[in-house]
Amino acid sequence: MKWQAVFFDLDDTLYSRADAFARTTRRFSDRFVGPGIDVDFDSIQAGVVSRIKDESKGVGQDRHWQLVFEIIKERHPEIEPTATELVAWYRDELIAQMQPDPGLQRVLDHLRSTGTPHGVITNGDLFQLRKIDQLDIGIPRDRIVMSDVEGVRKPDPEIFAIAAERLAVEASPRVLMIGDNPEADVAGAKSAGMTAAWMTLDRSWEYGEPRPDIRLSSLRDLIDHL
């Protein structure tokens, strides 16, 4: 099919969040705790979840990571920077460790060579732009639609309509949305009338209806559908 436009989610679509996180946590352990000593971020994050159960709804990422590093400092009192300083270091390092999906450049080259308009639809704030700059994908900022800027979040079909308008098309089955989240990306795109491609991340589909039209293990697989 000749797509009128193609949209990408950001996290776990254009890059692997898990891989970036793993590289960042190793860097943290080596720098602040000591070579060969791994900080168990997974168990610490589980502890954070239990801590914030009684807090008001909508605990943001800043509060989450503040608590993570407060716990780390409790377990490793030899760490000198404050929890706030560690959060700032973590955010910067996480971005530095982001690497584009191995198939992304080939996909972008194909879209450009065929003149297919393309952009990004992501839930989040302006911090998302730092990630996109790190990935160096060359998508103009007016084609990057962020929920906190627009005041509407995926899966609301309105944000997909806004993105389509930016590319001078209408949301339709000839517009493709690629993302990893069954609700935000697949259900959201389908509710807007778009075709949905799902990044499986080695998962099987256990999320009911609507189902994705296309399943991808990597953006390399997308070439067969362009």
Residue that terminates a domain, selected from 46, 70, 96: 96
- Asked if residue 115 and residue 203 are part of one domain, the reply reads yes
- Asked if residue 79 and residue 24 are part of one domain, the reply reads yes
pLDDT band at 126 (very low <50, low <70, confident <90, very high): confident
> pLDDT tens for residues 134-173?
999 999 999 999 999 999 999 999 999 999 999 999 999 9
Q: Structurally, how many domains does the chain consist of?
A: 2
CB 97 within 8 A of CB 17: no
- Asked if residue 44 and residue 76 are part of one domain, the reply reads yes
- Asked if residue 144 and residue 73 are part of one domain, the reply reads no
- Asked if residue 30 and residue 125 are part of one domain, the reply reads no
Write out the two tokens for 72: 């780390």
> pLDDT tens for residues 59-111?
566 788 899 999 999 989 999 999 999 999 999 999 999 999 999 999 999 99
pTM of the entire predicted model? 0.89
Angle subtended at Cα 121 by Cα 117 and Cα 127, rounded to the nearest 5 degrees: 125
pLDDT band at 113 (very low <50, low <70, confident <90, very high): very high
- Asked if residue 106 and residue 208 are part of one domain, the reply reads yes
* Whole-Å CA distances, 189 to 50, 140, 156, 217, 221: 33, 22, 9, 19, 19
Residue that terminates a domain, selected from 64, 96, 128: 96
- Asked if residue 134 and residue 27 are part of one domain, the reply reads no
| First-to-last C-alpha distance (Å) of the chain | 7
Residue that terminates a domain, selected from 65, 96, 127: 96
- Asked if residue 206 and residue 160 are part of one domain, the reply reads yes
* CATH code of 180's domain: 3.40.50.1000
- Asked if residue 215 and residue 118 are part of one domain, the reply reads yes
Nearest CA to 74 among 44, 35, 94?
44
- Asked if residue 86 and residue 37 are part of one domain, the reply reads yes
- Asked if residue 130 and residue 75 are part of one domain, the reply reads no
- Asked if residue 107 and residue 55 are part of one domain, the reply reads no
Supply the range of the domain harboring residue 48. 18-96
Q: Quote the mean pLDDT of the chain.
A: 92
